[in-house]
Structure 1
Amino acid sequence: MKFNRIIVIVMDSVGAGGAPDAAKFGDAGADTYGHIDAAVPLAVPNLRRLGLGKVAHIHDVPTDVVGAYGLMQEISAGKDTTSGHWEFMGNPVDNPFPTFPDAFPKELMDLFTAKTGYGYIGNEIASGTEIIERLGPDHFRTKQPIVYTSADSVFQIAAHNDVIPLEELYRICDITRREVCVGPYEVGRIIARPFVGEQGRFVRTGDRRDYSRLPKRKMVFEYLKEAGCCVVGVGKIGDIYAHIGLTESYHTSNNGEDMAELTKQLLAHRRDKGLLMANFVDFDSQYGHRRDVAGYAKCIEDFDAALGDFLPQLQDDELLVITADHGNDPTWRGTDHTRERVPLLLYSPAFAEAVDVGIRQTYADLGMTIMDNFGLTGLEFGTSFLNELR
């Protein structure tokens, strides 16, 4: 089968357990789908129709599967958003991005001050919602940004819009990406975390921006763009890939906006050959890291309901891929991502039968399949499963 357009939806962090190297990451037994379903049995009829029940540890419901299905396991050295997404597009991360379990060293923060012109408060491992509430008053008093990290390879900078305007926060983050977090401090992402409100009611806004480090290998987006294909990113996609190879990028703030923009771009580019890719972030940011099992379950069910409206809009020459970039089991210890296999669900109205594409040995199989579909070569990693689709 060949398709005029491929649409990829990444359900950020919705893993399916069973990664063979999970123990190396302290995650043996983690299972995002399985543990959520055990606690709050999931009602996901559309995902089941695409084969989710065949690959995730969820309770059995007799369902006629209309899509192809399988699992993918990661070979990158990390379990973060950047590692997962880059591997999708043919660029596995060989060495883990640096993390800072004891917060950032003095020499790095001195460089931050010298380059940005700002001091800082915080510099600790913290929850983003908790730290702005705790340090918000000091932020107003000192006029300095709040700096913090997590178990991920991130340098997060929070500021209230009335203290440091949004564009100034973006400027600080851009400088931090290019001139501060370099060499041994080259974290996976610098994240701008703007917030608004008053003490006791501080709220992060949807104007978050991620500043990814630059990849060292050429990825699928660039090959597609060079071949004259349309490459459209929705949500965090532009930030994750440092806007390299995209022909268009649309920022969104939540899953609802993701689906609305994805649908809009599906229709707007109906005749364009290429790739449309979206990251749905709420599963991870709103519920996984916060260990909110019930909220995570509802988020999956809401996505499934929205998928019910999206699927009928697909045409025979379009292929939908639904996957995840890592796990984030809300029943697991800590607040970090979890090393898991991820579902690989594929659908086109042109499919004649359901197909099990098995356990893929790298996320890069997705990228190689996209390249194969458009007759392109150049990737070093991955095996296409295009010829397995029926």
Structure 2
Amino acid sequence: MGKFTVIVLDSYGVGYMDDVIKTRPEDFGANTAKHIFEKTPGLKLPTLEKLGLMNALNMETEDMKKNPDAVFGKSSLMHFNADTFYGHQEIMGTNPKHPIMEPFSKKIDIVYNELIKKGYNVEYIGEKLKILLVNNCVTVGDNLEADGGQAYNVTSTFDKISFEEVIEIGKIVRSQVQVSRVIAFGGKDVTKDDLINSIETKDDTYIGVNAPKSGVYNKDYLVIHLGYGIDPEVQIPTILGKNNIPVTLIGKVADIVENRYGKSIPGVDTEYVMKQTIEEFKKMKDGFICTNVQETDLAGHAENVERYVEKLKVSDKYIKQLIDIMEDDDYLIVMADHGNDPTIGHSHHTRENVPLLIYNKNKKNINIGHRKTMSDVGATVAEYFKIEAPENGTSFLNQII
């Protein structure tokens, strides 16, 4: 065996998918990596260049060239739209199910009745539009930060209820709704009034707690994302864990992928998550590491090319340090989960193909082609460790071994 590491440069796509003309016309023309190079003359990312970024992009600049020795490919997204949560579930081997998008008002009565049936104290809060207040310390309503109707928030104060209990409430909500995500979270030093006073409406259709305003992020924040149609039993972390193979998830992936047998290290700062990756790699004899570099995505949302470049440079530096300590049997894949083109004219994710940049000390000059789903990465990890495959994806290990 050895170590297999996947580093997800969140949102670093390499060109819009053909289906955006029908599904997301606002993303037509998007190419996150290409447009960042065009906006930043002289940009040099030597490690990503060595790994074949320009091969995957099929372009060159004065400072970044294709590498004839690179092992590379790219992948389409199988999941709907362009979503970090579903992107990572797909990478881990999930066959994405298509959720529906609808405001919480469409499901509020069904959720209310189920919570009452389970013994909770539940009341409606609001006038024309309403949210639910559960046990005087947990609210259930629309997520106001995501696209309307995409997610519901279960927001809580941990001064009055444990995170484990909040998760159970989240699971009850999850069982009654078909939106893509139910997000259960909370923090300390937050009161019921803080939650109630932070309720806002959006477009006369959505109502929920403004999470940053409520203060739940400020102290001892914890979160779990409950996705539609997600079965951890058929994902790589669970399959590896049941086979006693170590798994470490670092960065945002630690928040959004279930990893009950392994180690999860949340974090946002790029330097922090990359240093953690190298430290965990050094400590691990054999096993799987997946790291999410979230700050690239945050720069995309801010439509800030300069900040995006800064985070890419930090990532590039530490990926080199990781490569330098890899041994003959170790494999690395650097990829993305979607796009977030900061030049496209909107601040949302862009539906783009993603690069697959693969490194092993002994492999050169291999093009694994254009994959249909990012689950091929999870399937490849499974074959590498000689365990059962996840529910989705086709391994490309035979091309790179």
8 Å contact 1:11–1:324 — kept in the other structure? Answer: yes
Letter matched to residue 50 of structure 1: L
1:242 aligns with 2:241: no
Moved more, 322-331 or 82-91: 82-91
**Match status 1:218 vs 2:237:** no
Query: For residue 73 of structure 2, what is the aligned residue in structure 1?
Result: 70
Shift of 1:379: 3.7
Q: Which residue of 1 aligns with 2:193?
A: none
Query: SS state of the match for residue 234, structure 2?
Result: coil
How many Å separate the matches in 2 of 1:177 and 1:39?
Answer: 43
Matches within 5 A, 1:177-256: 177-190=170-183, 192=185, 207=221, 209-213=223-227, 215-216=230-231, 218-244=234-260, 246-256=261-271
Pairing partner for 2:375 from 342, 364, 376: 364
What are the within-5 Å matches in structure 2 for residues 160-179 of structure 1? 164-165=157-158, 168=161, 170=163, 173-179=166-172
Q: What whole-Å deviation, never above 9, does each CA across 1:92-133 have from its counterpart, x for those lacking one?
A: 2131x3334xx5317528957975868779x99xxxxxxxxx
SS in structure 1 of the partner of residue 177 of structure 2? helix
Distance in 2 of aligned mates of 1:116 and 1:304: 51
- Where does residue 277 of structure 1 map in the other structure? 290
Q: For 1:136-155, what aligned pairs fall within 5 Å after superposition?
A: 148-149=143-144, 150-151=146-147, 153-155=150-152
Structure 2 residue identity aligned to 1:10: V
Cα 1:193/1:31, change in 2 over 3 Å: farther
User: In structure 1, what is the equivalent of residue 319 of structure 2?
Assistant: 307
Q: Is the 8 A contact 1:33 1:58 kept in 2?
A: no
Question: After superposition, what is the alpha-carbon deviation per residue over 1:296-333, rounded to whole angstroms, capped at 9, x for unaligned?
Answer: 12211221122232221211121011111111112234
- Within the candidate set 346, 365, 387, 1:354 is matched to 365
CA displacement at 1:265 relative to structure 2? 0.8
Q: Which position in structure 1 is the counterpart of 2:15?
A: 17
Q: Distance in 2 between matches of 1:74 and 1:188?
A: 18
Change in CA separation of 1:33 and 1:168 when aligned onto 2, cut-off 3 Å: farther
Could you tell me whether the CA contact under 8 Å between 1:237 and 1:278 is conserved in 2?
A: yes
Residue identity in the other structure for 1:4 = G
Q: 1:116 to 1:77 in 2, by over 3 A?
A: farther
Q: Which amino acid aligns with 2:292?
A: N
- Structure 1: where are the runs of 5+ without partners? 125-142
Could you tell me which of 281, 292, 300 is aligned with 1:266? 281
1:137 aligned residue: none
2:384 aligns to what? 373
Deviation readout 1:38-70 (Å, 9 max, x if unpaired):
222432111011000111256353464554111
Unaligned runs of 5+ in 2: 130-136, 190-211
Question: How far apart are residue 8 of structure 1 and its match?
Answer: 0.7
1:187 partner letter: S
Whole-angstrom distance in 2 between the partners of 1:239 and 1:329 = 24
2:205 alignment partner in structure 1: none
Q: 1:207 & 1:374 partners in 2: Cα distance?
A: 34
Aligned residues between the structures: 358
**Cα contact 2:101–2:179 (8 A) shared by 1:** no
Structure 2 counterpart of 1:320? 332
- Bigger shift: residues 368-377 or 177-186: 177-186
Q: Which moved more, 1:50-59 or 1:169-178?
A: 169-178
**Which aligned pairs between 1:3-152 and structure 2 lie closer than 5 A?**
4-23=2-21, 24-26=23-25, 27-41=27-41, 42-56=43-57, 59-60=61-62, 61-62=64-65, 64=67, 66-95=69-98, 97-100=99-102, 103-105=103-105, 108=108, 111=111, 148-149=143-144, 150-151=146-147
Matches of 2:109 and 2:303 in 1, distance apart? 30
The aligned amino acid for 1:366 is V
- Secondary structure of the 2:340 match is coil
Whether the 8 Å CA contact 1:207–1:253 is kept in 2: the answer is no
Q: The residue matched to 1:233 in structure 2 has which SS?
A: strand
Determine if contact 1:49/1:65 at 8 Å carries over to the other structure.
Answer: no
Specify whether residues 148 and 364 from structure 1 end up closer, same or farther in structure 2 by C-alpha distance, changes over 3 A only.
closer
**1:7 to partner: Cα distance:** 0.6
- Identical-pair percentage: 24
Query: Could you tell which deviates more after superposition, 54-63 or 167-176?
Result: 167-176
Using the size of structure 2 for normalisation, the TM-score is 0.76
Residue identity opposite 2:92 in structure 1: M
Q: Is the 8 A contact 1:212 1:241 kept in 2?
A: no
